[in-house]
């Protein structure tokens, strides 16, 4: 699968050094109604007019069939990200065009669309992931290192050994690498491997200046240093992807900067979440849902595909299953829904709190289809399943949690089944009164033949 660089809409920021620029992450919805997901499609080397589920299929096929290619390690003198090097007193995070993105944010967030890079103490797992981080002063920052997330898991490993965590941040990377910003790889799987499968080629890496981590050599900006084991700073609030500004201020690990390297005229990618749809919703929803499909198929569940509706601000994961699920699994509706929930929430991909399970005729990416199914096929009592025995709370950024749920980190997992209730399993499906499924063939043929002639758009 070929990949192409995104065309950024560049912003030059007053007060920053000459040539320093900023740009949106680039995955938002297109203004072209015939190609609404063109930016995502082109990023993954597919035709601009590709539908969302077709893009997902291409992405999953590349991950499933691609081979991992060993990296090419460049000499520091030849890597594009080393054109400029700041060490010691030259280090100054405040020179970069990191915005105060929302009215009420606790600081300037330089890390909203980059990849944190950390490695386990034994060197067996290197994780690339996106977690927000804000500037404290010219050589320190702080961000999220949540123990339930991969970067936090690895930070905890270093902390248990009584050591600070070596760390690097790559900003402005190859689109194939960018895909991993919103992905949910399983534990102990390197995002490098996924990226090289997508590219079907090696990726050029280069060693950091002040630690042994390898970073993408073509990145716009590399920030490197360490995450403190026992020093913390106030972080937030920060307006997150549910579309609200929270009132919490967190205590998060202090990150000390030991070097900054960057290209000439560097571009800082930014992703400022808000009310959907924006780049954060597309990135997180698309790639996370794709990893969910992989996880379900690995568990041998009859899942066709899945998508987190962008319009739901990443809160509704819609799972499409085969209509013959009862025949292939031998399960009742209740048992099948329970199996989906237990499979989903007991692994790393399980961060959504609200799941909607639909049949083959519902497009998981269509707000219209999903709304219709949820309104007409979900029984408000018998079709709603709660998972109180699983001690999670979704992503934790939802705007509806009670105070005690925030304290204990659990609460509110539910599946809304749009599958038949048990007394209709195995019976013929009710006829759908749509043009495609219910109108007589001669009428459909006449309408299709004369549609544009009658003045309607294709």
What are the E-state strand segments in 66-132? 72-73, 84-87, 109-111, 115-119, 126-129
Tokens at residue 83, please?
Answer: 């054109």
Contact 306, 364 (CB under 8 A): yes
> Angle 227-231-237 (CA atoms, 0-180°, nearest 5)?
85
| DSSP one-letter string for 403-455 | HHHHHHT----EEEE-SPPGGGTTSPPPPP-SHHHHS-HHHHHHHHHHTTTTT
Tokens at residue 447, please?
Answer: 């309408």
67 is catalytic: no
| Residues present in the chain in total | 458
According to DSSP, the residues that pair with 24 across neighbouring strands are 270
* CA pair distance 335, 325, nearest whole angstrom: 11
Phi, psi for residue 62 in degrees, rounded to 5: -65, -40
* CA pair distance 405, 248, nearest whole angstrom: 14
Q: Count CA atoms within 13 Å of residue 246 on its CB side.
A: 18
Tokens at residue 27, please?
Answer: 């995955």
End-to-end Cα spacing for the chain: 30
Contact 243, 161 (CB under 8 A): no
Alpha carbon of 381 to those of 315, 414, 417, 429: distances in Å?
20, 12, 10, 21
Helix axes 333-345, 279-298, angle to 10 degrees: 120
Indicate which residue of 94, 240, 398, 458 is catalytic: 240
Q: Which residue has the tokens 């829904």?
A: 337
Alpha carbon of 180 to those of 116, 197, 225, 446: distances in Å?
11, 12, 22, 47
* CA pair distance 442, 247, nearest whole angstrom: 60
Q: Which helix (H) or strand (E) holds 289?
A: helix 279-298
* Residues belonging to the active site: 240
């Amino acid at each position: 699968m070929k990949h192409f660089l995104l065309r950024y809409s560049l912003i030059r920021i007053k007060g920053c050094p000459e040539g320093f620029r900023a740009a949106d992450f680039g995955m938002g919805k297109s203004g072209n109604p015939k190609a609404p997901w063109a930016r995502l499609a082109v990023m993954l080397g597919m035709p601009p007019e590709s539908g969302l589920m077709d893009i997902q299929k291409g992405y999953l096929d590349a991950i499933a069939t691609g081979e991992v290619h060993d990296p090419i390690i460049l000499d520091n003198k030849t890597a594009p990200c080393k054109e400029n090097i700041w060490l010691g007193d030259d280090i100054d995070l405040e020179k970069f065009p990191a915005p105060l993105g929302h009215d009420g944010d606790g600081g300037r967030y330089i890390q909203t669309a980059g990849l944190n890079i950390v490695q386990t103490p034994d060197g067996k797992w290197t994780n690339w992931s996106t977690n927000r981080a804000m500037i404290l002063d010219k050589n320190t920052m702080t961000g999220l290192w949540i123990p339930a997330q991969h970067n936090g898991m690895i930070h905890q490993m270093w902390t248990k050994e009584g050591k600070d965590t070596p760390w690097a941040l790559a900003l402005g990377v190859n689109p194939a690498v960018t895909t991993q910003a919103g992905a949910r790889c399983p534990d102990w799987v390197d995002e490098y491997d996924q990226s090289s499968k997508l590219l079907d080629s090696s990726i050029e890496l280069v060693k950091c200046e002040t630690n042994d981590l390898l970073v993408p050599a073509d990145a716009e900006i590399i920030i490197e240093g360490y995450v403190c084991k026992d020093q913390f700073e106030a972080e937030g609030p920060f307006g997150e992807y549910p579309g609200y500004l929270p009132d919490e201020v967190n205590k998060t690990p202090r990150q000390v900067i030991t070097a900054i390297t960057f290209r000439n005229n560097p571009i800082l990618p930014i992703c400022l979440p808000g009310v959907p749809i924006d780049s954060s919703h597309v990135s997180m929803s698309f790639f996370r849902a794709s990893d969910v499909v992989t996880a379900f198929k690995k568990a041998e569940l009859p899942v066709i595909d899945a998508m987190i509706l962008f319009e739901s601000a990443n809160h509704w994961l819609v799972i499409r299953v085969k209509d013959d699920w009862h025949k292939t699994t031998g399960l009742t509706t209740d048992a099948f829904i329970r199996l989906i929930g237990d499979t989903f929430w007991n692994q790393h991909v399980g961060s959504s709190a609200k799941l909607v399970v639909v049949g083959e005729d519902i497009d998981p990416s269509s707000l219209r289809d999903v709304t219709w199914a949820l309104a007409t096929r979900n029984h408000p009592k018998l079709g709603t399943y709660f998972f109180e025995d699983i001690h999670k709370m979704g992503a934790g950024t939802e705007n509806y949690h009670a105070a005690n749920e925030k304290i204990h980190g659990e609460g509110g997992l539910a599946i809304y089944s749009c599958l038949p209730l048990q007394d209709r399993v195995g019976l013929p499906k009710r006829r759908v009164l749509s043009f495609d499924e219910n109108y007589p063939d001669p009428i459909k043929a006449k309408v299709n033949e004369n549609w544009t002639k009658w003045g309607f758009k294709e």
